[in-house]
């Protein structure tokens, strides 16, 4: 069937169905020279094959005119709107390839097949890659050349922009820095930098300032380089550090050492392997996994069972409960989620219930033995009666009380929230913000009183106070009043940098879909930094501001070449890629042999 379809596709292309496509003539409308008024003559005629998404293959003939007096040349004004000089593939081919690659997340082979089957255009894998990279380059040029238009839109609609700054990296790859507007969601700027050092960031922020002006405020994590660079470039602009990052850092300082002790103790006792072993053993006793599950459902449904069946189903349910708690959390990650602590407490709870079952007259010793009751109980007893582990858990619980109090005050990443990492902790009024500020001030004073009363062993709490006082002026940002669309508007800056974090998760998902690799370090290394701007094409407000409609994208790209518009700033070359020529030369680089020949 595939062979037949391929034969049909080869034999019934557009050219073979309607015959040879007519040659399209392109020529300037001018007949006299605009400089000297002399009549123009034909200098030469150039012909080339063009490939377009709109019309398929086109044979284009361009007549180039020349003034015999001043030698001025006159070329067609229509052809440059279709294809770049020296290229055979039209701008709409580049746009289609880029859209398929970065918006529909298609593989190179898939794009080749679409061009062949849908548009009847031959295209190599190398040409597809070339077009997709060019697509990003043109997208960047178009974006930055429209900076004034974007700036005007942000000012008129929102009174300005809120700068969200963050960067991502993996392994030894460079950092991909992005600057977003927290109100409109526009990606304003992206750049690869070697690291989050103040010098590199300062250069980047100066470009942002030149292109889009000074932000209303900035939201970022607690990186020292980012804070220093923002202070240097955006003087007197309010800074808001991400409350999620602040809480996470404080939580790690408070809980991480103790939590790791719990992890290590559970791992050393091989409790996870033991629970899995006991689960499999119970399945054998029940006659298989399906029968064991059936007993569990019957116990849960309060069906009538024999004592042996009831105990077997109950024990199996307990073990399934423990297996489900190995890595259970609310999606926030440590220190907000503490699955190993919950696992320990679940073991204690189940062990307590097993002690109660042991005293019941319904189950004799023989039933307990055949259902592995004693084996399961013993596996849990080893954990529950570990005194050192008990002490660690008690100390950890004490520290968790302080941390959870802080979570409640900051009103973010709360256990009852279902937003996970997307929790932005939005504040609805200035009154609520002032209430938070007072509660946090009281919290600090309470910690100081506890430390003063009993200073021994309170080093972690001193660290919490130090952290909060260090960033106090960056924790709370007052509402910002601006004029937008002729009306006074109050803006509450986001308290988290989750908008940037969500953006990077989407970007990494794109990378993994394109190449199938869990690590994205190579993608950050080799893809153009304009990859971040792709996200703007999903924003209807951005499209309306810059290009009116996505249908105009190919024409907008053509305009960049016609008007010779380049980036309004110079790119910083990180010299990340080693040329193939250099690599080949290094393979045969043996200077000692050369010296011997010279001698």
Among 88, 121, 151, the domain boundary falls at 88
Q: Is the same domain home to 462 and 554?
A: no
61 token code pair: 């003939």
Alpha-carbon span 167 to 133, nearest angstrom: 22
pLDDT tens figures, 267-311:
999 999 999 999 999 999 999 999 999 999 998 888 888 989 999
Residue 162, Cβ density class (10 Å: 0-12 exposed, 13-18 middle, ≥19 buried)? buried
Q: Is the same domain home to 459 and 430?
A: yes
Is the residue at 281 inside a domain? yes
Number of structural domains in the chain: 4
Residue 578 contacts residue 572 (beta carbons within 8 Å): no
Is the residue at 395 inside a domain? no
Residue 597 contacts residue 178 (beta carbons within 8 Å): no
* Residue 83 domain boundaries: 2-88
CA atoms within 13 A on the CB side of 393: 21
DSSP reduced 3-state for 62: strand
CA distances from 232 to 74, 161, 205, 500 (A): 50, 19, 9, 22
Is the residue at 595 inside a domain? no
Q: What is the pLDDT of residue 148?
A: 95
Q: Is the same domain home to 347 and 435?
A: no
Q: Is the same domain home to 323 and 371?
A: yes
Q: Is the same domain home to 76 and 157?
A: no
Q: Is the same domain home to 530 and 455?
A: no
User: pLDDT per position in the chain (599 positions), as tens?
Assistant: 344 334 434 444 444 444 556 578 888 888 888 888 888 888 888 888 999 998 888 888 888 889 988 888 888 888 899 999 889 999 999 999 999 999 999 999 999 999 999 999 999 999 999 999 999 999 999 999 999 999 999 999 999 999 999 998 887 778 999 999 999 999 999 999 988 999 999 999 999 999 999 999 999 998 899 999 999 999 989 999 998 899 999 999 999 999 999 999 999 999 999 999 999 999 999 999 999 999 999 988 888 889 899 999 999 999 999 988 877 777 788 999 999 999 999 999 999 999 999 888 888 899 999 999 999 999 999 999 999 999 999 999 999 999 999 999 988 877 766 666 566 666 667 788 888 889 999 999 999 999 988 888 788 999 999 999 999 988 888 888 888 877 888 888 888 888 888 888 888 888 888 888 888 887 888 888 899 999 999 999 999 999 999 999 999 999 999 999 988 887 766 655 566 677 777 777 777 766 655 55
Q: Is the same domain home to 379 and 274?
A: yes
Q: Which of 98, 7, 21, 8 is nearest to 57 (CA)?
A: 21
Q: What is the pLDDT of residue 250?
A: 94
329 token code pair: 């959390």
Among 472, 491, 510, the domain boundary falls at 491
CA distances from 119 to 53, 55, 81, 237, 590 (A): 6, 8, 20, 52, 52
Q: Is the same domain home to 306 and 375?
A: yes
Alpha-carbon span 341 to 308, nearest angstrom: 32
Tell me the pairing of strands 41-52 and 56-66.
Answer: antiparallel
Q: What is the pLDDT of residue 4?
A: 32
Single pTM value for the model:
0.83
Residue with tokens 């960031």: 201
- Gyration radius of the chain's alpha carbons: 34
Is the residue at 393 inside a domain? no
Q: What is the pLDDT of residue 576?
A: 56
Residue with tokens 């064991």: 292
Residue 573, Cβ density class (10 Å: 0-12 exposed, 13-18 middle, ≥19 buried)? exposed
Q: Is the same domain home to 75 and 153?
A: no
Q: What is the pLDDT of residue 274?
A: 94
Q: Is the same domain home to 381 and 478?
A: no
How many CB atoms are closer than 10 A to CB 48? 14
Alpha-carbon span 34 to 72, nearest angstrom: 9
Q: Is the same domain home to 376 and 416?
A: no
Give the distance, in angstroms, between the CA of residue 350 and the centroid of all CA atoms in the same chain: 40
Q: What is the pLDDT of residue 580?
A: 67
Residue with tokens 């409640």: 408
Alpha-carbon span 398 to 383, nearest angstrom: 20
Q: Is the same domain home to 443 and 379?
A: no
Q: What is the pLDDT of residue 58?
A: 86
Alpha-carbon span 250 to 459, nearest angstrom: 13
Is the residue at 130 inside a domain? no
Is the residue at 120 inside a domain? no
DSSP reduced 3-state for 535: helix
- CATH number, residue 185: 3.30.420.10
Is the residue at 263 inside a domain? no
Is the residue at 67 inside a domain? yes
Alpha-carbon span 507 to 511, nearest angstrom: 6
CA distances from 454 to 402, 448, 449, 461, 469 (A): 16, 10, 9, 11, 21
Q: What is the pLDDT of residue 1?
A: 35
Residue 199 contacts residue 145 (beta carbons within 8 Å): no
Q: What is the pLDDT of residue 463?
A: 92
Alpha-carbon span 434 to 373, nearest angstrom: 56
60 token code pair: 């284009």
């Amino acid at each position: 069937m595939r062979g037949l379809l391929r034969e049909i596709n080869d034999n019934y292309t557009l050219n073979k169905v309607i015959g040879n496509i007519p040659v399209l003539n392109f020529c300037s409308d001018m007949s006299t020279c605009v400089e000297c008024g002399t009549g123009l003559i034909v200098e030469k005629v150039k012909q080339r094959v063009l490939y377009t998404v709109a019309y398929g293959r086109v044979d284009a003939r361009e007549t180039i005119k020349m003034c015999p007096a001043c030698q001025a040349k006159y070329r067609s004004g229509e052809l440059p709107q279709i294809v770049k000089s020296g290229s055979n593939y039209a701008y709409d081919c580049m746009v289609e390839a880029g859209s398929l690659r970065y918006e529909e997340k298609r593989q190179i082979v898939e794009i080749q097949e679409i061009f062949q089957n849908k548009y009847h255009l031959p295209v190599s894998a190398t040409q597809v890659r070339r077009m997709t990279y060019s697509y990003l380059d043109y997208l960047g040029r178009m974006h930055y050349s429209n900076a004034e238009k974007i700036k005007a839109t942000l000012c008129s609609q929102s009174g300005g922009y809120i700068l969200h700054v963050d960067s991502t990296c993996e392994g030894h790859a460079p950092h991909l820095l992005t600057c977003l507007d927290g109100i409109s969601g526009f990606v304003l700027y992206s750049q690869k930098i070697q690291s989050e050092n103040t010098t590199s960031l300062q250069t980047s922020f100066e470009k942002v300032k030149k292109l889009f002006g000074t932000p209303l405020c900035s939201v970022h994590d607690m990186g020292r380089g980012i804070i220093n660079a923002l202070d240097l470039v955006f003087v007197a602009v309010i800074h808001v550090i991400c409350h999620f990052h602040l809480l996470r850092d404080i939580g790690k300082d408070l809980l991480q050492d103790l939590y790791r002790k719990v992890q290590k103790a559970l791992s050393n006792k091989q409790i996870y392997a033991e629970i899995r072993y006991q689960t499999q053993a119970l399945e054998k006793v029940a006659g298989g996994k399906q029968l064991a599950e059936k007993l569990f459902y019957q116990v849960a449904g309060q069906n009538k069972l024999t004592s042996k069946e009831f105990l077997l189903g109950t024990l199996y349910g307990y073990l399934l409960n423990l297996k489900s708690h190995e890595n259970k959390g609310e999606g926030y990650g440590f220190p907000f989620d503490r699955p190993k602590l919950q696992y320990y407490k679940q073991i204690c709870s189940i062990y307590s219930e097993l002690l109660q079952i042991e005293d019941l007259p319904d189950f004799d010793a023989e039933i307990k033995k055949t259902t592995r009751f004693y084996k399961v109980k013993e596996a849990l007893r080893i954990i529950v009666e570990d005194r050192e582990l008990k002490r660690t858990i008690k100390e950890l619980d004490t520290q968790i009380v302080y941390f959870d109090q802080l979570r409640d005050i900051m009103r973010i990443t709360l256990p009852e929230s279902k937003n996970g990492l997307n929790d932005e902790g939005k504040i609805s009024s200035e009154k609520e913000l002032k209430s938070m500020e007072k509660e946090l001030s009281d919290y600090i004073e309470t910690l100081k009183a506890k430390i003063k009363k009993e200073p021994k062993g309170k080093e972690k709490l001193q660290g919490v106070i130090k952290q909060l006082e260090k960033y106090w002026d960056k924790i709370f940002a007052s509402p910002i009043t601006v004029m937008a669309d002729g009306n006074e508007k109050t803006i509450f800056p986001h308290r988290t940098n989750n908008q940037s974090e969500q953006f990077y998760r989407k970007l990494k998902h794109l990378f993994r879909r394109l190449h199938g690799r869990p690590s994205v370090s190579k993608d950050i290394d080799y893809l153009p930094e304009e990859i971040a701007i792709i996200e703007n094409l999903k924003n209807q407000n951005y499209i309306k501001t810059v290009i009116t409609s996505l249908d105009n994208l190919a024409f907008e790209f053509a305009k960049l070449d016609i008007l010779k518009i380049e980036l309004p700033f110079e790119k910083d070359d990180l010299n990340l890629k080693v040329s193939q020529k250099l690599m080949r030369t290094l393979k045969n680089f043996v200077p000692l042999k050369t010296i011997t020949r010279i001698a």
